[in-house]
Amino acid sequence: MFPVIQVGPFSIQAAGLILLAGLWLGLSLTARYARNFGTDSNQLEGLVLYSILAGIVGARLFYVFRYPQVLMKTPLSVFSLNPTMFDGTTGILIAVLAMFIIIQRRKMDFWRTLDAITPLLSVLSVALAFTHLATGSIYGISSDLPWAISLWGQTRHPTQIYEIILASVVLVLLWTSYRHREKSSIPLEIKGLHFLSFGLLAAVSWIIVVTFQADTVILFDRLRILHIFLLGLIIILIGLVERRMKEYSTDQ
């Protein structure tokens, strides 16, 4: 694993660098294909950047709230770039909430906006998979398969590699769809269908990854809590897809 990249005298957190690269590439694709979804690229970039900023600030403040002793010892640590000093779950929730608020206040088309940021989400999912490889997190259960890797003192399923491959497949499938408007395999006319398709494909991918993941809660044999959550999410997403398709058929 490579948690830190050494560039001369500087040590750079690999995970942060990978996410920044993913954000840049994702925003580039979002801006490039915004017209295919009938949205404005400048509005989308502002929406994403403000949401991410809100998420970062919220994640740091919540971390400080949970561990005030850290701030009392070193007050300037509140400005630290250390990725371990962020509450990731809180940051994501605040970023999503900020995004919904901005969409409402700017009166942006909800489903079209979600479709338009799907390229960004697809790229970030690949970038996130690479950060797991860099840090050695989301590691697999023990295995003696030929492609098993040595990690944390055991040979394990390379779940990070599985995640990278599956996320890349999802990215390519969706990219080939919205790249050519006339030949899109997922009808661009149906609002929200690209975003929901990404959600479904990502959830199915994660079910596969979680099956071989070691650092997760097991209920029965190989059934994880995340399996139940992901299956519930898939059912909800399928229901939303059917609803979007029915509403589109009714409007025609």
Give the least confident one: 139-148, 206-215, 219-228.
Answer: 219-228
Give the single-character DSSP code of 142: B
For residues 82-111, give the mean pLDDT: 83
The number of distinct structural domains making up the chain is 2
pLDDT at 83: 61
- pLDDT, tens digit (0-9, with 9 covering 90-100), for 47-83: 999 998 998 888 888 877 777 776 677 666 666 666 6
**Residue-range definition of the domain harbouring residue 184:** 15-31+112-252
pLDDT at 166: 96
For residues 95-105, give the mean pLDDT: 91
156, 225: one domain: yes
Given 88, 108, 128, the domain boundary residue is 108
Which residue shows structure tokens 């954000």? 23
For residues 85 and 136, the answer to whether their CB atoms sit within 8 Å is no
121, 26: one domain: yes
Q: What is the percentage of the chain residues whose pLDDT exceeds 70?
A: 84
Give the single-character DSSP code of 139: P
- pLDDT, tens digit (0-9, with 9 covering 90-100), for 133-176: 888 888 888 998 888 888 888 899 999 999 999 999 999 989 88
Given 73, 108, 143, the domain boundary residue is 108
Q: Collapsing DSSP states into helix, strand and coil, what is residue 136?
A: coil
97, 173: one domain: no
Q: Collapsing DSSP states into helix, strand and coil, what is residue 4?
A: strand
Residue burial 124-149, b: 16+ Cβ < 10 Å; e: rest: bbbbbbbbbbbbeebbbbebeeeebb
Distance of CA 38 to the CA centre of its chain: 23
pLDDT at 79: 64
Dist. CA 215–CA 203, nearest whole Å: 18
